[in-house]
Amino acid sequence: MDLFGIPLTALLSQLVLGLVNGSFYAMLSLGLAVIFGLLNVINFSHGALFMMGAMLSWMGANYFELPYGLMLLLAPLGVGVLGVLIERSMLRRLYKLDHLYSLLLTFGITLVLEGVFRSFFGSSGQPYSPPEWLTGATDLGFMMLPNYRAWVVLASLAVCFATWFVIEKTKLGAYLRAGTENPRLLEAFGVNVPLMITLTYGFGVALAGFAGVLAAPVMQVSPLMGSNLIIVVFAVVVIGGMGSILGSIFTGLGLGVIEGFTRVIYPEGSATVVFVVMAIVLVVRPAGLFGREK
Amino acid sequence: MTRKPLLTTLAAALALCAGTALAQTGPLKIGFITDMSSLYADIDGPAGAESIKMAIADFGGKVLGRPIELLTTDHQNKADLAASKAREWIDQQGVSAIIGGTSSGTALATNKVAAEKKRPYINVGAGSARLTNEECTPYTVHYAYDTVALSKVAGKAIIQKGDKDWFFLTADYAFGYSLEADATTVVKANGGTVAGSIRHPLNASDFSSFLLQAQSSKAKVLAMANAGGDFVNAMKAAKEFGIFKTMKPAGLLVFINDVHSLGLKNTEGLLLTDGWYWNQNDDSRKFAARFFEKFKRMPSMVQAGDYSATLSYLKAVQAAGSDDADKVMATLKSNKINDLFAKNAYIRADGRMIHDMYLMEVKKQAESNTPWDYYKLVATVPGDQAYTTPAESKCALVKK
């Protein structure tokens, strides 16, 4: 059966793959949005910390024989701790300055992290197999979907939804949102805002680390895996609206699907379609699809 | 111009000219440019550099009274990096010859530099047959294998087994294009059809999208015009997505390292072309044992080729009595090569090293008795038949 002259099976299978990629975009842009929302920091090191999550997972498996399930908890924790250290020691000195300085700092951190890992591991990927309980594939009729990829979509959606719930519906989230609007006033109420900021940064990058663990069996665990994604993720955040939680989730998934769609119709354009969409959105709605004018 | 600046300028100009001349004293420098850290690092890489050092040591460490020095660098699969390093080595370090590693893009770029600067360029690791066809020069030797031999040996064998409808998964650079083109020629010449092709970026992280498109073409054979890490990842992803339920894999360039990575379970029955196998005779086994001690893995044909190419070059320098490029190239093309890599091999006028190529089949797990015992020899194809024949050649240097 053909739709627009393309076999339906090909279309559906690319859309499913697009959903998988979209899950990564959603998780990463969620972390970025949370960090930008509260800290006003453009966290360029998000990609490198995503890579660190995958690397920690790989190192845990290779050097300590730790199971995947355990690394799903440990790796984000490790990346979160690293994030807290970065924030405490370096990032907090730059809050008073222009956005650009934190961008440069986090960019520098990316270069350092990627360089160090590249010197140890080379730039091609280390293999990482999915865990026993997620191998195998399900026959969807139009394609065989590896169970692991289905898990990626489900886990990402669960974490994204949980994050949204915490931020929008709980007291802690209320503090976070208040801190975004007026940190001085919140501090006057007795809330420890600097601590909140540190933990938020840690949490945001922990999300990236979690995405990294999910990504390890899908992409190659390579020092450059983050830099391949980060540019697209930034475009996603811009399209969704910087600081909007729901925006980044929907936009991430949506753009993953659009990319998959483009791969079938016009494969050469699949790398650039996200930026074309970004350009259009910026012209029509400069604050992003779900963003609010500040 | 006043006198002093004029003299200085003259002196500087003379010094520049002197730099490009070959030094007749001091160490004889050989340069080795390859992928040391990326997807081709295992099949050549630092172990290839070691193989060259082994050859230098076995030769005696000196030639014509001059100690031999090896310079190495990582081109990271970037053609401009390789070319500029080659240029720098020749201009500033007085390198006498360059041995080329993997990646056809870098090989083609270095080839041009070597021809311009008149230095022998012996490429061992790259695949593109363009090096001895459209881009042939009097100073280039293409040593271990090429895309034509890969297509004519295994490509033909796979079609003759009956799988005639092919779809290409091609690495998006010079090597992929060459291999796809040469394999397509062989497919069509043997009554097969090509349903289509799709290009993936070099060192792609995720093959799922490309493989699904290959599957939707309904072709019977998934021909992989890629190598090294790309081949391994494509095979793994294909297995994950159940591609092999409807298509058969055809690996057009498979190294023993890839079979080791994937395991015999995932590669049994695969037909492939090889230029050298560690277990083919006593000489090869001896070299393999030395290599294994250092690296805990068996050498690939490229690493054995690095050893042999170095030895052949040094022998030619010795016989020619100088490292002058024209004299050395003439000597290289007039003597037979007999060493652990090949027997009764020779270098043709177009720079192609003609030697026997082997059609290998990957053993089943049960048939493999010792570690790295992966291949069984199906057929030996003489070099004259495996490589581009003079009649087919697009090089002006070979007589038709």
End-to-end CA distance of chain B: 57
Distance CA A279, CA A253 (A): 18
- CA B80 to the chain's CA centroid: 18
Q: Is A263 on the interface with B (CB under 8 A)?
A: yes
User: Buried b / exposed e across B168-186, counting CB within 10 Å, b at 16+?
Assistant: bbbbebbbbbbbbbbbbeb
Q: Which residues contact residue B376 at a Cβ distance below 8 angstroms, ignoring those fewer than 6 apart?
A: B360, B361, B363, B367
Q: Average pLDDT, whole number, for chain A?
A: 87
Greatest Cα pair distance, chain A, in angstroms, is 64
- Alpha helical stretches, state H, A90-224: 99-121, 147-169, 171-181, 183-188, 193-215
Q: Which of residues 41-60 of B touch A (CB under 8 A)?
A: 41
Cβ–Cβ under 8 Å, residues A158 and A25: no
Q: What is the pLDDT of residue B378?
A: 93
- Partners of A220 on chain B (C-beta within 8 Å) are 205, 229, 233
Q: Rounded to a whole number, what is the distance in Å from the CA of B142 to chain A's nearest CA?
A: 26
| Structure confidence by residue, pLDDT tens digits, B282-332 | 999 999 999 999 998 999 999 999 999 999 999 999 999 999 999 999 999
Q: Do the beta carbons of residue B206 and residue A219 sit within 8 Å?
A: yes
Q: Residues A186-198: pLDDT tens digits?
A: 889 888 888 988 9
- Amino acid at position A170, single letter: T
Map residue A182 onto helix, strand or coil: coil
Does the beta-carbon distance from B213 to A264 stay under 8 Å?
Answer: yes
Helix (H, G, I), strand (E, B) or coil at A101: helix
**Torsion angle, CA of B135/B130/B284/B308, rounded to 10 degrees?**
10
Report the share of chain B in percent with pLDDT over 90: 74
* Closest partner CB to B208 (pick from A10, A17, A127): A17
Q: What are phi and psi of A221, to 5 degrees?
A: -75, 90
pLDDT at A6 over 80: no
- Residue A1: is its pLDDT beyond 80? no
Q: Is A8 on the interface with B (CB under 8 A)?
A: no
In a 13 Å sphere around the CA of A227, the CA atoms on its Cβ side amount to 15
Distance between CA atoms of B378 and B261, rounded to whole angstroms?
A: 22
Contacts 24+ apart (CB under 8 A), B78-84: B78/B105, B78/B106, B79/B103, B79/B105, B79/B106, B79/B108, B79/B109, B80/B109, B81/B106, B82/B33, B82/B106, B82/B107, B82/B109, B82/B110, B83/B109, B83/B110, B83/B112, B83/B113
Which value does ipTM take for this structure? Answer: 0.75
pLDDT of A221 reads 86
Mean pLDDT value of segment A191-213 = 92
Confidence (pLDDT) at B19? 47
Least reliable range by pLDDT among A111-115, A227-231, B61-65, B361-365: A227-231
Q: In this structure, what DSSP letter does residue B23 have?
A: P
Higher pLDDT, B1 or B103: B103
Does residue B209 belong to the interface with chain A, where contact is any CB pair within 8 Å?
yes
Mean pLDDT, residues A40-56 taken together: 92
**Smallest CA–CA separation between B373 and chain A, in Å?**
23
Does the pLDDT at position B341 exceed 80? yes
Q: What is the mean pLDDT of chain B?
A: 90
Q: Identify the sign of the CA torsion A72, A74, A75, A79.
A: positive
In B, residues 221-260, which contact A (CB 8 Å cutoff)? 229, 232-233, 236, 240-242, 245
Mean pLDDT value of segment B336-359 = 94
Calculate mean pLDDT across residues B90-112.
94
pLDDT of residue B98: 96
Selecting from A123, A218, A228 the residue whose C-beta is nearest the C-beta of B37 gives A123
pLDDT at B1 over 80: no
Task: Determine which of A52-61, A235-244, B231-240 has the lowest per-residue pLDDT on average.
Answer: A235-244
Q: Residue B205: which of B226, B233, B225 has the closest Cα?
A: B233
* B38/A122 CB distance under 8 A: yes
Which residue of chain B has the CA closest to A223? B38
Model confidence at A23, pLDDT cuts 50, 70, 90, reads very high
Q: Is the pLDDT of residue B337 over 50?
A: yes
pLDDT value at residue A183: 82
Please state, in angstroms and rounded to a whole number, the distance separating the CA atoms of residues B382 and A109: 55
d(CA B306, CA B123): 9
User: pLDDT tens digits for B354-379?
Assistant: 999 999 999 998 999 888 999 999 99
